[in-house]
């Protein structure tokens, strides 16, 4: 599992500029901007062009979803900002994709920042044992007004494919309830996706466990560290989002109906659950480190034991052989008829005592 090595600070690249300056800030080059306009109510839905509808957009009794993906076309985004009368700082936050998850309430709209997490197995990792997960995140900014939801995705993704499909199905609640329910559906979709990512990380942890406890692999420290780093990055996404959603529910802003609030509570529940899992994972990764350390110690112990056993058995024997290798003129034993076998017996006895001693120590 490889963490996304680029640490997300990078605010600095715009450090000299005045606040509210519209410059894209992020770790990646911005994707080309693509805008889709959906207008719908309980009875109809169509995808249309904004320029034909800008003034009276959306029509009476209609809701709209402006789905922007890719943030490279600053001009188009600026126009949307005018249409929705966004505060300059909001526009800046949309373009700076290093925001933490948060919500902000303005007089005319509610602004929300979430993170879409993408997980990729690096194909170049090769070995079947080591799954190398690369976790990256893309910013999703949502503007909610009375009748319009405007979502800005950092890059292109098909995470909302299911929602578009449900939107075109007239039997769905999504069509019957207002913009706030659509905003909830987007957030719920993003958070549900986290569970998928956590599942993958969970499998990763289990793989690591097996390899550490099984002892088949001696160099997992780098992977434990990468795991910890991935969990750290996840925490930076999940914790503030949980706080944001909980705060949003408590504040009960005008843009969100009570009916939708119950559904938001559900998202909040999921985030609490994700938090619990995240904390478990973090403690488990600490546990893996401890297991790994003790595995190292154990292995060292075993190595040392074998060295000690062999060395301590043979060192005295070699010493005995050394004695009878001395060239003194008068060494009576050397002339004994059974001197040689006697010395061999002495060696065997010595070795036997050693072995018994080690067996008593439970080393063998």
In angstroms, give the least distance from the CB of 32 to its own copies: 26
315 contacts its own copies (rule: CB under 8 A): yes
Taking contact as CB under 8 A, which single stretch among the options 37-45, 60-68, 75-83, 265-273 is the one that binds its own copies? 265-273
Find residue 204's DSSP bridge partners: none
Residue (92 or 153) nearer to its own copies, CB: 92
The least CB distance from residue 190 to its own copies, in Å, is 10
Contacting residue, 299, 349, 352, 364, with its own copies by CB under 8 A = 299
> What are the C-alpha distances in Å from 138 to residues 17, 168, 225, 264, 271?
24, 26, 23, 22, 18
Region near its own copies per CB under 8 A, out of 94-102, 121-129, 146-154, 245-253? 94-102
CB of 70 to its own copies, least distance (A): 23
Query: Is residue 195 close enough to count as binding its own copies by CB under 8 A?
Result: yes
* Contact string 142-181 vs its own copies (x = CB under 8 A): --------------------x---x-----xxx-------
DSSP percent split of the chain into helix, strand, coil, nearest 5: 55, 15, 30
Cα(140)–Cα(154) distance, integer angstroms: 6
Residue (20 or 32) nearer to its own copies, CB: 20
Residue from 33, 41, 136, 193 that binds its own copies (CB under 8 A)? 193
Instruction: Give, in order, the Cα–Cα distances in Å from 171 to each of 43, 46, 185.
Output: 10, 16, 16
The residue among 35 and 241 lying less far from its own copies, judged by its C-beta, is 241
Interface with its own copies in residues 325-364 (CB under 8 A) = 325-331, 333-337, 339-340, 343-344, 363
Q: What span, in angstroms and rounded, lies between the C-alpha atoms of 285 and 277?
A: 12
Helices 221-251 and 179-214, axial angle in degrees (round to 10): 160
Q: What does 58-119 look like in DSSP terms, one character per residue?
A: SPTT-EEEEEEE----HHHHHHHHHHTT--HHHHHHHHBTTPPSEEEE-SS-EEEEEEEEEE
Under DSSP, the state recorded for 20 is T
Closest approach of its own copies to the CB of residue 283, in Å = 6
Shortest distance in whole angstroms from residue 54 CB to its own copies? 27
Please give the residues from 118 up to 137 whose contact with its own copies meets the rule CB under 8 A. Answer: none
The pair phi, psi for residue 111, each rounded to 5°, is -115, 135
Q: Which stretch binds its own copies (CB under 8 A): 40-48, 120-128, 148-156, 298-306?
A: 298-306
Of 252, 287, 352, 353, the one binding its own copies by CB under 8 A: 287
Among 54, 307, 345, 364, binds its own copies (CB under 8 A): 307
What distance, in Å, lies between the first and last C-alpha atoms of the chain?
A: 39
Note whether 107 binds its own copies by CB under 8 A.
no
Q: Per the omega criterion (within 30 degrees of 0), is the bond before 58 cis?
A: yes
**Considering only residues 19, 43, 51, 128, which one is a binding residue for its own copies as defined by CB under 8 A?**
19
The per-type count for the chain, helices as H runs and strands as E runs, is 9, 7
């Amino acid at each position: 599992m490889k963490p996304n090595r680029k640490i997300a600070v990078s605010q600095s690249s715009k450090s000299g500029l005045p606040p509210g300056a519209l410059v894209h800030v992020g770790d990646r080059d911005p994707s080309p901007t693509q805008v889709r306009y959906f207008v719908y109510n309980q009875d109809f839905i169509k995808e249309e062009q904004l320029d034909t509808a800008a003034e009276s957009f959306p029509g009476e009794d209609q809701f709209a979803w402006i789905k922007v993906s890719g943030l490279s076309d600053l001009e188009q985004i600026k126009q949307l900002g005018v249409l929705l009368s966004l505060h300059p700082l909001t526009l800046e936050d949309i373009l700076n994709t290093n925001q933490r998850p948060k919500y902000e309430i303005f007089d005319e709209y509610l602004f929300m920042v979430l993170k879409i997490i993408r997980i990729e197995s690096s194909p170049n990792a090769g070995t079947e044992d080591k799954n190398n997960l690369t976790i990256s995140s893309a910013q999703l900014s949502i503007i909610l007004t009375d009748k319009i939801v405007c979502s800005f995705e950092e890059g292109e993704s098909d995470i909302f494919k299911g929602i578009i499909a449900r939107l075109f199905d007239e039997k769905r609640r999504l069509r019957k309830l207002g913009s706030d329910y659509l905003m909830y559906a987007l957030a719920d979709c993003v958070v549900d996706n986290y569970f998928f990512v956590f599942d993958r990380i969970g499998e990763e942890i289990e793989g690591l466990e097996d390899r550490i406890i099984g002892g088949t692999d001696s160099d997992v420290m780098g992977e434990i560290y990468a795991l910890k780093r991935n969990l750290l990055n996840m925490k930076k996404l999940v914790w503030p989002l949980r706080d944001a959603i909980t705060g949003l529910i408590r504040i009960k802003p005008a843009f969100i109906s009570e009916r939708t609030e119950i559904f938001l509570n559900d998202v909040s529940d999921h985030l609490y659950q994700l938090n619990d899992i995240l904390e478990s994972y973090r403690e488990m990764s600490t546990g893996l480190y401890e297991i790994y350390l003790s595995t190292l110690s154990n292995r060292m112990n075993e190595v040392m034991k074998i060295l000690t056993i062999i060395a301590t058995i043979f060192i005295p024997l070699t010493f005995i052989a050394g004695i009878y290798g001395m060239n003194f003129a008068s060494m009576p034993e050397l002339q004994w008829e059974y001197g040689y076998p006697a010395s061999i017996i002495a060696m065997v006895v010595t070795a036997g005592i050693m072995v018994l001693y080690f067996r008593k120590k439970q080393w063998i």
